[in-house]
Structure 1
Amino acid sequence: MRFLAPAALALLLALPGAAPAAEKATAIFAGGCFWCVESDFDHVKGVLDTTSGYIGGSIANPTYENHPGSYEAVRITYDPAQVSYDQLLTVFWHSVDPTDAGGQFCDRGPSYRTAIFALNDGQAKAANASKAAVAKDLGTVATPVLKASAFTVAEGYHQDYYVKNPIKYRYYRTACGRNATVEKVWGAKAYKGIKGASS
């Protein structure tokens, strides 16, 4: 196979009608167990990739066995031409219990708290505006909007857990009460914006 030299490739891409590379953007959300957050966002049109990891803790290079203060979170890569950050915020809020400050569902403790990690001022402004709207809807919101710090990718067996271990995943999600609680909190708005909700 022949490859074009960089200069030739650049010239080709500059020609009229050449398709530009798809723009990508990133969002980071903590919503309890990162297996479930991955699954939910993977069902959103325009989401290109989801990665489980740790953020907001007190040590460098946290692991599942050692991540003091870290949130379990998911880094989302998306196509802004297909889904906006505001739409992702809507999905986030309606797939968690934002009134719970101590964790999510059966998972308790700092690792399982909810949070929005803003990567820039625009995201922070949008996140705070959406939080205010949710507070009007629910009366109280325990989810903070935080400035994003270093994101550490979780161990390989956590990535796409719901795909690799579908039976164990579904049992965990049901037994933990995630879907039932989200539906109780949000009613008809539960899992808004997610295709194949409660998966």
Structure 2
Amino acid sequence: MNDQTFSLQPFPSTKSLPNLKITGNIDRNSHQLTIRYTLGGDLKEIAIAPPSNAQLRKPELWKDTCFEFFISIKDSQRYWEFNLSPAGHWNVYRFDGYRQGMQEETAFTILPFNVQNQAEGLALVLDVDLAKIVSVKQAIEVGITTVIKHRNGEVTYWALTHQGAEADFHLRDSFIVEL
């Protein structure tokens, strides 16, 4: 077990909403990865899609409020991008290298997760079996991110760290959690 807490920071050049906080924890136990995001603060200023009855794979979730994380196998160019919408929609993409060879990862046909509206914010929890893409013996590096779309249409980009001159979640220097 390797449970780690996190707190995301907005990209420095974007205006973020006051009192908005994105925190959580991530844990890898054998082949299971559990990640929990907590979005707290004044959520009435954030565009959050209403919950859907069906959790469907959908493209381009990052154009709206979306919780994301990136996984790479240590010392490998290949990585995966996981997108989770508060509406319940999801997608997983595989890349051969930095923004190269993007395609939907077909190893996942469903990605069930829970979204809970709480008095102080919103929580999203995913428990996923990584055995379909990563061996238990392989160390992974993780980048944890979130896209927040404001009701006025502005978008802010949140991550553990921002390594580029522009917000870019795909930079491997940003995959700083080791599990």
| Structures share fold, TM-score greater than 0.5 | no
Higher strand share: 2
Structure with max Cα Rg: 1
Structure with greater helix share of residues: 1
- The alignment's TM-score, normalised by the length of structure 2, stands at 0.32
